[in-house]
Amino acid sequence: MEFINIIDYIGTFAFAISGIRLAAAKNFDWFGAYVVGFVTAVGGGTLRDLMLDVTPFWMEHVSYLVITGLALVFVLIFRKYVVRLDNTFFIFDAVGIALFTVVGVEKSIAAGFPMWVNVIMGTITGAAGGMFRDIFINEVPLIFRKDIYAMACLAGGFVYYLCIWAGLSVVATQVTAAVSVILIRVLSVHFHISLPALKSIDQTAGEAKQE
């Protein structure tokens, strides 16, 4: 359990940092930045837990509040170094969504839902926090427009089930699914792979009229 906890905390820290940074760009006060950091870190898991009808996970351990506080202190003290640490945070973040995805899938399994619900719950756990963050700072959610992000979580959920079907042990399944999420996330950013954007319908309609 201890190793999992450390990864969980690292992921939470990276998520909180990302929320606090974007809040800072909007000149939020300390409290606002803390809230945005916290929502980024725990928002996905909270939505999952509300839909699974279990107590939101962060209400059972004070650690998520504390880690978000540490992230805020970190940004306040080391602000000049935060940007230089971009690559480190990117890796932390990728490890975080990988773990969050696996945790989300397993919590949904434990609640007795079918496979496709579990995969969605894994994706929500990994990706919805960033969506809430963007709604709070009044921006169009980034995960709808940029990079492979939620898709990495979704793929990780399917890999989880592939491993189960293939008869792998629970630990091997967890590791394989998490590594898939990290690889997809890192490779898609490295090679600038992204999903195609939808063209505006009205624009297309305009073209249609010109034909």
Minimum CB separation of residue 179 from its own copies in Å reads 21
The binder of its own copies chosen from 4, 6, 26, 170 (CB under 8 A)? 26
The binder of its own copies chosen from 3, 87, 171, 201 (CB under 8 A)? 201
Reduced 3-state DSSP string for 96-161: HHHHHHHHHHHHHHHCCCCHHHHHHHHHHHHHHHHHHHHHHCCCCCHHHCCCCCHHHHHHHHHHHH
- Burial of residue 37 (CB within 10 Å: 0-12, 13-18, 19+) is buried
The binder of its own copies chosen from 8, 16, 45, 46 (CB under 8 A)? 46
The binder of its own copies chosen from 7, 24, 159, 184 (CB under 8 A)? 24
Minimum CB separation of residue 29 from its own copies in Å reads 4
Interacting residues with its own copies between 82 and 141 (CB under 8 A): 82-84, 113-114, 116-117, 120, 131, 135-141
Contact 108, 118 (CB under 8 A): yes
- Residue 143 CB contacts under 8 Å (≥ 6 apart), including other chains: 127, 130, 131, 134, 149, 150
The binder of its own copies chosen from 65, 70, 91, 168 (CB under 8 A)? 65
Token code pair at residue 107? 């919590």
Q: Which residue's structure tokens are 């009808």?
A: 53
Minimum CB separation of residue 7 from its own copies in Å reads 24
Written as one letter, the residue type at 35 is: V
Tell me which stretch binds its own copies (CB under 8 A): 6-14, 78-86, 155-163, 171-179.
78-86
Minimum CB separation of residue 113 from its own copies in Å reads 6
Minimum CB separation of residue 20 from its own copies in Å reads 7
Token code pair at residue 83? 């940007």
The binder of its own copies chosen from 29, 87, 167, 171 (CB under 8 A)? 29
